[in-house]
Structure 1
């Protein structure tokens, strides 16, 4: 029997102290996927006990290619807390991360609760605003080696989010061009179509998956729909800018070490 609370303490300590840990699945903790989500919930509960607030969730594996690569047939998700929300245009410190990467996303802010099986139209009607966003993902495992269960236990690698200006949800999100630049040079170019063909489908899935954990997506919460391109490794001193069709920009800098 695996003590998931003890594993949650290991994962939480790694995130809090930005220290790499051994791969759980190969070091005495062969978690099932259900146990991995239990570890995630317990590790985030430790953060909430320290005063953090839950502000939403992030979706992962939202492209078919990524699902095939990881050998899964459904999305994964993680939790967002207020300390993960980074000020747009500010600087982040690499010392707070182990293997930080950044990827372009679409963010939703809800005005109505969502839970369980909802239609695409119901999901769209629950959205108050949309924005360009970038997620900081950071696997806390040594040598960047991990299994699906390891990823999920580690809050699906979610570590931070940068959100641009919120916009009215009036534009068609199904095929927006998205380009991410490092110091003015393009490093990733893609489309919001890579997010399940339409980012709103990711919101539908978010309501379903959260309900399986007896969670409701609450008004005011943020839902990150998933990445539109591959992630790019961050480096000291770089300025990162995301440009999107119709939704505008989001940017952040990395402090020089």
Structure 2
């Protein structure tokens, strides 16, 4: 199959969502040569198709930054893909309707907003100077592959598992100490008031800034035709396990050691 044909199959499966019969057989199981370079070419074809139907890239999601998840999902390095204006939301009390998502899960994440394009080769500290906002957010991720059974190239091709990104209020990164605080905080994720998991900054490649640096270094080598731009949002990867969600549940995330507002998201 051509890259465009594979992209069309992915978009068709996403359109089916969680309806009976939806789902993809992993491409890595169909073709032993289906690797990350081809997966990123297909992801770029998906992005072009989504842009053609009116969706605008609004930033990036980074996945598999939490090494605790690598053995569970059979991956060995982070991946990334676009966030769109159609998949980005502000947390305002509106519940998330799960109809149309395929096996959705929730991930609490640190979200950055870029004030300017980072210089080539920028490390974590230099990237900090390119940011004008940080927030706590929830990414609702999904797997078009039934049972969450896939390899890394499969995920890259299929939106890098991105479904929707909800963010809390922006906080300015002014004043000293942000790099240190972003490497030392902890997180608690609850479902209906009961603790579902704990996490910490170190789970995201040691710091969300390190995840951003990884994206900044690797993105130019992928065929999206677009790098990091001013105004982009970047969600940096889950601080906890990715937990399955269901209608009627209310999830919340709080941080200790980083002064970002707690967030809550309900599902219908």
Range class of TM-score, shorter chain: over 0.9
Judge which range, 50-59 or 117-126, deviates more. Answer: 117-126
Counterpart in the other structure of 2:226 = 215
Residue of 203, 215, 221 corresponding to 1:206: 215
TM-score normalized by structure 2? 0.89
Listed as ranges, the matches of 1:213-252 within 5 Å are 213=222, 214-245=225-256, 246-252=259-265
Report if aligned partners of 1:115, 1:210 keep a CA contact under 8 Å in 2: no
Asked whether the equivalents of residues 116 and 210 of structure 1 are also in contact (C-alpha less than 8 Å), the reply is no
List per-residue Cα deviations over 1:137-158 (Å, max 9, x = no partner): 1010123221221111112101
Aligned partners of 2:133 and 2:170 also within 8 Å: yes
Consecutive unaligned residues in structure 1, runs of 5 or more = none
Counterpart check, 1:83 vs 2:86: yes
Q: Which deviates more, 67-76 or 190-199? A: 67-76
Confirm or deny: 8 A CA contact 2:189 2:240 kept in the other structure.
Answer: no
Alignment of 1:93 with 2:97, yes or no, is yes
- What do residues 43-102 of structure 1 show as CA deviations (whole Å, max 9, x unaligned)? 121111111110111111213344466565532111100111134121111212010000
Corresponding residue to 1:131 among 120, 124, 135: 135
Instruction: Give the aligned length.
Output: 254
Q: Does 1:3 align with 2:2?
A: yes
Q: Aligned with 2:265: secondary structure? A: strand
Q: Secondary structure at the match of 1:123?
A: helix
- Are the equivalent residues in 2 in contact too, given 1:116–1:209 (CA < 8 A)? no
User: Aligned to 2:217, what secondary structure does the other structure show?
Assistant: helix
User: Residues of 2 paired with 1:56 and 1:114: CA distance?
Assistant: 14
Whole-Å separation in 2 of the counterparts to 1:127 and 1:252: 26
Q: Which sections of structure 2, spanning at least 5 residues, go unmatched?
A: none
Residue among 57, 73, 77 paired with 1:74: 77
CA distance in 2, matches of 1:232, 1:68: 16
Instruction: Output aligned runs, 1:148-159, within 5 Å.
Output: 148-159=152-163
Q: CA RMSD in A?
A: 1.8
Q: CA deviation at 1:28?
A: 5.1
Q: Distance in 1 between matches of 2:56 and 2:132?
A: 20
Deviation per CA, 1:212-239: give whole Å up to 9, x if none: 1253201110011111111110011101
| Residues 164 and 69 of structure 1, relative CA distance in 2, 3 Å threshold | same
Cα distance change of structure 1 residues 223 and 135 upon mapping to structure 2, 3 Å threshold? same
What's 2:111 paired with? 107
| Secondary structure of the structure 2 residue equivalent to 1:91 | coil
Moved more, 229-238 or 10-19: 10-19
Distance 2:106 2:127 in 1: 26
Matched, 1:17 2:20: no
**TM-score, with length taken from structure 1:** 0.92
